[in-house]
Amino acid sequence: MKRREFGQTCASAMLATLVGSLSGSNVFADENSSEKKLRILLIVGGHSYDRENLHAMLNNFPNATFDEIAIPDKQDMLKPGLSKDYDVLVFHDQSFFELTQEQKDNLEKLFGDEGIPTVMLHHALISHPEFPLFRELYGAQYLLKDTEIDNRTYKASSYLRPTNVNVYIAARKHPITEGIGDFTLVDEVFKNVYFNPHIDVLARTDHPEGDRPVIWLWRYKKSPVFGMIQGDAGGAFNDPNFRKLFYQGVRYIVSHKDE
């Protein structure tokens, strides 16, 4: 989906005026308002991750709360009706377990029919390689082997870590990137990832062992999606620019759910 189809930058779509420092709890002007807190569900499992720093980033999300579940144990929670309890899902799992047909049907109903804002963080790009729904949902996929998609063969993906990653903002007038310039962090990079040709790229890298798109927007049927390649460890989660992009990206897809 192209940017013009997802929502143009305009006064009515702008996020609340940003104030204070890039880090900490002063990112949004509405942090002390009586507005209902944003409810985040973090989904993990299948891979070790920097729990301390990821939780710190989420705990510092202004005017928001989060819960965490691990799959496959809690896979059955991911079904229609979940949007009554949570405003956005953040996937940071790396899952290879076999889904039942009922679980597959529930995922399609949740993302396709009901719709719920979704964030794809790093490890989740590898999840469920044999179930096309996740490639369609995220608009991208880390390929474990050479794979044919839409009559074209894509090479298997690869990774490199840790390394210095230059992040260049590609969409400087978008609400998600507002107030953020180019920056560098230490994190893992992926190469030869499959990207849907219609994703809305917000940031890129020039790392020789990494693919150029690193942050993007997408919409799968009724679910707006925010994708972030980076997010392997504290190098990303502690970076004030990464945090700000994450906070603004989450706010944006939640506010654009019904478009």
Query: CA 213, CA 17: separation in Å to the nearest integer?
Result: 27
Residue type, position 147, single letter: T
Contacts of 4 (CB under 8 A, 6+ apart): none
Q: Residue 221 is encoded by which pair of tokens?
A: 């049927």
Q: What's the pTM?
A: 0.87
Which pLDDT value is given to residue 233?
A: 78
What CA–CA distance (Å, rounded) separates 33 from 13?
19
The tokens 């062992």 sit on which residue? 209
Counting every residue, how long is the chain?
259
CATH number of the domain where residue 99 is located:
3.40.50.880
Whole-number pLDDT of residue 72: 98
Rounded CA separation 214/43 (Å): 20
**DSSP classification of residue 38:** E
37 DSSP 8-state letter: P
Cβ-contact 226, 255 below 8 angstroms: no
CA 12 remoteness from chain centre: 23
Dig out the tokens for 190 from the structure.
């992926």
DSSP per-residue codes, 177-210: TTT---EEEEEEEEES-EE-TT-EEEEE---TTS
Write out the chain's pLDDT in tens, 259 residues: 444 444 444 333 333 333 333 333 344 444 445 578 999 999 999 999 999 999 999 999 999 999 999 999 999 999 999 999 999 999 999 999 999 999 999 999 999 999 999 999 999 999 999 999 999 999 999 999 999 999 999 999 999 988 999 999 999 999 999 999 999 999 999 999 999 999 999 999 999 999 899 999 999 999 999 999 999 977 899 999 999 999 999 999 999 998 8
Instruction: Count up the domains in the chain and report the number.
Output: 1
219 neighbors 1 (Cβ within 8 angstroms): yes
Q: What is the pLDDT of residue 34?
A: 55
pLDDT attached to residue 26: 40
- Containing domain of residue 216, as a range? 3-255
